[in-house]
Amino acid sequence: MVDPTVASRADGAQAREKLLHAALRLFAEKGFERTSTREIAQAAGANVSAIGYYFGDKAGLYRIAFLEPLGDLCPRGQEFEIDGIALPVLMQRFFAEFLEPLKRGEEVRLVMRLHFREMVEPTGVWADEIENEIKPQHAALIRVLSREFDLQRSDSDLQRLAFAIVGMAVHFFVGQEIVNEIAPELLAGPEAIDALAERLAGFSLAMIEAERARRGARAAERQPDVDE
């Protein structure tokens, strides 16, 4: 016999998921202001009161739809900055976790559409995401790179390197439609995305080594000439 408590929890989780998916689709298509809670509930086959029960209000539902499908887009500082892990392993982990949401397919495409809409019709959620998620994650990467180059503080070139590394992965989110049109096999399933993470990790190591060589050459040029 099925435990009614377990069944109730499963039904609740399913109802929440339906509301969330309906909201994500409608918010991405119409924006926050032009989407009503009645529309969302109707699309999900639920009562309007369910939105208040699971998400508090329309703004709470919007925030969850904006953030939850992506999870942690890249590793938290404490997860990424683990002492004793070799840089190649660290970068592999970084990209594997960063690209993991791409395995959700259509859901992530809707999230990116919602992000683009948020940029032109801001509600404040994107600003909060930058402050509370993206900045700390970027700072964690900067600290890793600073240790790699034995720097006490970052400089502009280190910032350029960090943004270039992250930018490789970000392109596969914001440019999904372009990638799917030109080279759809790159995002054709979990194995393809795992392979992409592995390649980007390798590319990032090459970028780091190129920056190391550039810094070394620059330092050598600054050495004073010594008479033989």
CATH number, residue 94: 1.10.357.10
- The pLDDT score that the predictor gives to residue 225 is 60
Residues 85 and 60 in one domain: no
Kindly state the tokens that stand for 197. Answer: 């993470």
Q: What's the pTM?
A: 0.81
Q: Are residues 116 and 20 in the same domain?
A: no
Handedness of CA 24, 25, 26, 29 (dihedral sign): positive
- Residue 54 and residue 153 share a domain: no
CA distance 46 to 56: 15
pLDDT at position 222 is 80
Say if residue 52 is in the same domain as residue 113: no
The range of the structural domain enclosing residue 27 comes to 4-66
Which pLDDT value is given to residue 82? 63
Q: Are residues 82 and 193 in the same domain?
A: yes
In this predicted structure, what is the pLDDT of residue 7?
41
Given a cut of 50, the residues of the chain with pLDDT beneath it are 1-8, 72-77, 228
- Look at residue 9 in the predicted model and tell me its pLDDT: 54
How many domains is the chain built from? 2
